Amino acid sequence: MIRILTTQSDLQARFAPLQRQRKIIGLVPTMGALHDGHLTLARTALAQCDECVVSIFVNPKQFAPHEDFDRYPRPLERDIELLDSIGVQSVFTPSPEVMYPPGFQTTITVGNVSKPLEGEFRPHFFAGVATVVARLLLLTGADKAYFGEKDYQQLQVVRAMVHDLAIPTEIVGVPTIREESGLAMSSRNAYLTAEKRKEALCLSQTLFSMAAQLKAGRKISEIESQAALTLLSSGFDKIDYIAICDAATLEPPAPQTTALRILGAAWIGNVRLIDNIAV
Ligand code: AMP
């Protein structure tokens, strides 16, 4: 039976004895509304660790006032059943007061890698993510923590933070899980009607087509502007960015760049979708 942990002393009671026995603890931070992408992270942690703990916390610090914090889906009972069914040993479901006790006043801001792309369109976002992830890593004392490439820039920001602050947790990136159609699984897909879901496919299709054009030697700026037009003519209403970047820095590629990543964020109505692929 899965253990439900809600307080710092619950974490202590569960993990301190495991740490004394040198058991490997793997953390999977989530905001809940779990789908197969999250479950793949948990299965990877289960395969590599002695204990997998999945945290479920809709982090207010990573939402701007105009964003979807209030309507974000929170099917907590179903989430816990799903985690139990795949053998996850513990779930951490803290209240906001446990994550941010009275008097909490620290914010972690990561430098360059958090500035472009998401950082430009959601300026509050990565400080919120870095602060909550640092606290989760330190509260649980996890040996390993699992993050999806679905949120590729987030993964790079977390890697930079853990490196810079010498947090002794190994960060493991897990490839994006897609539906058969190619649509990247996301809790926010629940906001889409069946019709809009079909239109949403164009985002992953466009990324794959951009990779093919890149391999065919077409100029990056031309590929990017063509991709934006394609999305706008296929049901997307607004594009935040669709860009070919240096996979390490997320800046526009320099002549010496070897690894590239193609990343996009675009809106269908009031639903914002993001996706990315390696080249
Ligand atoms: P979220 O609940 O959206 O904050 O996501 C929690 C974790 O699951 C993050 O590390 C995400 O990158 C990861 N994740 C979300 N969707 C997917 C997916 N389709 N494939 C792989 N990982 C994912």
List pLDDT tens digits, range 174-185.
Answer: 999 999 999 999
Instruction: Specify the pLDDT at position 73.
Output: 97
Measured CA to CA, the distance from residue 275 to residue 46 in angstroms comes to 26
Instruction: Specify the pLDDT at position 269.
Output: 96
- Which parts of the chain sit beneath pLDDT 70? none
Measured CA to CA, the distance from residue 221 to residue 254 in angstroms comes to 13
Catalytic residue among 35, 38, 124, 163: 38
Nearest-CA residue for ligand 1 atom 19 is: 185
Nearest-CA residue for ligand 1 atom 7 is: 30
Give the model confidence (pLDDT) of 163-172 as tens digits: 999 999 999 9
Cα–Cα nearest to 29, from 62, 2, 56? 56
Taking the model in full, what pTM does it have? 0.98
CA dihedral 109, 113, 119, 123 (to 10 degrees): 20
What is the number of the ligand 1 atom nearest to the C-alpha of 38?
8
Cα–Cα nearest to 30, from 153, 133, 163? 133
Has 35 been annotated as catalytic? no
| Chain center to CA of 234 | 26
Instruction: Specify the pLDDT at position 223.
Output: 98
- Which ranges of the chain would DSSP assign to H, the alpha helix? 8-20, 36-48, 76-85, 96-99, 118-121, 125-140, 152-164, 194-215, 220-232
244-254 core/surface letters (b: 16 or more CB in 10 A; e: else): bbbbeebeebe
